[in-house]
Chain A
């Protein structure tokens, strides 16, 4: 059996393109936002080809809208499939959320109610996406600001059921667990203990900001201590798993992100030692 990929990576962002291409950066993989490269041609596609020649690449999407009650966008899937075929990525992921309904696209990761009906919808959409892409997808747990009631299950039970029904994997965003737990008052440890550990293929680590009423998943801060603690808690339960720092705004110099990735590596080593 081939061991799952378990390296340490970064989200590839524009300010760092040159550094990634001019010298070998000390990462095991990079993750790119799929939609940024789902264009016809030009510099973005050339950059991606060159990056792919140097690093394994994960494709992370924001526009599949897996929770749409009126199904997926076939044109989107076809475009993503073409990119998947070209890049041959480590992972293809998107979010447990929805963006599009009745031809309207919010371009935001909107929350779902965790009901049996929503489970049916999302499971059908994931199955269709996996068929269209010809491969397993990873589903990322979202940061949420709304807890729709009544719910039939917790978010982690919802994810577990999706994995069982579709065979999908999970992209566990630990910052998102922390943000949602803070906003809705659940125990993040219960969440991390409740997800199907064997299905977690990738981890996101990121930071957040305090909004006027709720924590906001801004991805513009270093990974904070509570998120590192949750990472250290869950890692022994998961075993080796691909981990990356995800920064989307207020992008710092690359060496700062690499230093954060160094923390993740140390926590992983410590966790493995403790588990051994």
Chain B
């Protein structure tokens, strides 16, 4: 048997328990060792998911979480060199398993986003004092590379916070209108915050390269002059306070 065939048979055993692969690998002589490696494989992935989704596990309960892990491990094979990548598809698995309970996948997104923000690239946030030299007519804001955004339909952030603080979580509630959530790292501490669709769209546009003046114009168009400018200023202040802005560059003409 070639090395490539041997390794493909090991994979078939680990992921699909193919008995015919065991026979080709050596049958009873290798079966005890293969069982150890299969246990290692599954235990490693399960531990990775348990560690990455602690609050989600708190919410749905250990047994339900365990069943979700079994489903995920059976369906999604790890491909990256780093185990950190394996949790990325788990919120989607939970969304399929809990179609009537969207807060479950949203809790999982928070768990995942905080973990990803924890090791995201470093960047130094701008302070108010850094804003002096910015040409606001043309400036494009740069955001911390740890920033991530997702849609939000429930009060998952409040549930997550209560679970993290060991408080009684609130009952699930749908938001009056669909919103969004952002997660990022400030210093070494991952954070999240629920936002409305106006801020969501503003962040998406700003990250895509729209100038701050352009954002102001869009907000004025949507909300009227006074309210639009006030909202732009309010968001800028909040982004600075959150440590989200890392640059204010002026594109070359």
Contact = CB atoms under 8 A, between A and B. Distances in A.
Interface in B1-41: 2-4, 6-8, 10-11, 14-15, 25-26, 29-30, 32-37, 40-41
Contacts of A108: 14, 37, 40-41, 44
Contacts of A111: 33
Interface string A14-48: 00000000000000000000010011111111100
Interface stretch (A143-151, A226-234, A263-271): A143-151
A154 interface: no
B11 A102 contact: yes
B25 A148 contact: yes
Interface residues of B, number: 43
B137 to A, nearest CB: 32
B26 A149 contact: yes
Nearest to A145: B33
A100 B81 contact: yes
B2 A117 contact: yes
Nearest to B78: A105
A107 B11 contact: no
Interface in A86-106: 98, 100-106
B8 A102 contact: yes
Contacts of B36: 145, 211, 214, 216
A70 interface: yes
A275 B122 CA distance: 51
A148 B29 CA distance: 9
A105 B8 contact: no
Interface string A249-275: 000000000000000000000000000
B11 A69 contact: no
B120 to A, nearest CB: 6
A104 B82 CA distance: 12
The 3 closest A-B pairs by CB, nearest first: A145-B33, A146-B33, A41-B122
Interface of A: 35, 38-46, 63, 65, 67-70, 73, 75-76, 98, 100-108, 110-113, 115, 117-118, 121, 144-149, 183, 211, 213-214, 216
Given A146-B25, A147-B29, 14 more contacts: A35-B81, A39-B84, A42-B122, A43-B188, A70-B4, A104-B11, A105-B78, A106-B10, A106-B14, A107-B41, A113-B6, A115-B3, A145-B32, A149-B26
